[in-house]
Amino acid sequence: MGPDRVQTAMEAVPREPFLPEQQRPYAGIDCALPIGHGQTNSQPYTVATMLRLLDVQPGHRVLDLGAGSGWTTALLAHLVGGCGEVIGVERRPELIGPAREALEATLGEATHASIREAQAGVLGAPGDGPYDRILVSAEAQRMPHQLIDQLADGGMMVIPVATVMHRVERRGDRIVDTQHGRFRFVPLVEDT
């Protein structure tokens, strides 16, 4: 078995730059940390679990919904490599500036990863789809079919729904939804 690509990405992309200054001393602790505005930087164990379920490959186009601090966007950028693309979408405009700064500080002038403000009344970024992978780092109360519609054939989404982690795969017209344990997240904001 080859090296664990997710572990390699987590070693290559430190958590500290994506945290507010006062939280950086706790970056090595395996727990969610507040980043302000009622949002958190997710627990590293949870992030690693989600990324392993997502099985991101070099060259993939990935939507990172609920980009928050930008850490998952940077991790995904590492996994897709320079030939892939990651679009981070965040609802809270006050988080976007610091997330972009941390992303640039970590990835340099890389153009294959970006973070933007969510469009009012739109879940995801359908205009840029379809996506090979969608990572949702906020908890939905029910499965959002408008995100499933943004998956490419063969695409996969990992999303917490009502505390249960789901992996949703599109296989032509068929959708395969499997469950992978219970997790807690901040709520997914579906409307403005």
Mean pLDDT score, 51-76: 95
Token pair 């505390």: residue: 163
Phi/psi of residue 73, each to 5°?
-60, -45
Burial class (CB in 10 A: 0-12, 13-18, 19+), 153: exposed
Residue 13 has pLDDT above 60, yes or no: yes
pLDDT for 23-63, tens place per residue? 999 999 999 999 988 888 999 999 999 999 999 999 999 99
| 87: nearest Cα among 111, 69, 105, 108 | 111
Query: What average pLDDT does this structure show over 175-179?
Result: 91
Distance of CA 152 to the CA centre of its chain: 17
Beta bridge partners of 62: 86, 133
- Out of 15-19, 46-50, 150-154, 178-182, pick the least confident: 178-182
CA distances from 113 to 46, 72, 96, 99, 105 (A): 22, 11, 13, 12, 12
Map residue 60 onto helix, strand or coil.
coil
Percent of the chain beyond pLDDT 70? 94
pTM attached to this predicted model: 0.92
Residue 30 has a pLDDT of 93
Reading the block at residue 158, the tokens are 């990992």
Is the Cβ–Cβ distance between 187 and 176 less than 8 Å? no
SS3 82: coil
Handedness of CA 55, 92, 23, 110 (dihedral sign): positive
**Whether 126 contacts 143, CB under 8 Å:** no
pLDDT in tens, 81-125: 989 999 999 989 999 999 999 999 998 876 799 999 998 888 899
- Check residue 1 and give its pLDDT: 35
DSSP state of 31: S
- Mean pLDDT computed over 8-32: 94
- Residues 153-166 have a mean pLDDT of 93
Strands (E), the chain: 33-36, 39-41, 61-65, 85-90, 113-117, 131-136, 151-161, 164-171, 174-182
pLDDT of residue 169: 96
Residues in the chain: 192
Provide the annotated active-site residues.
Answer: 42
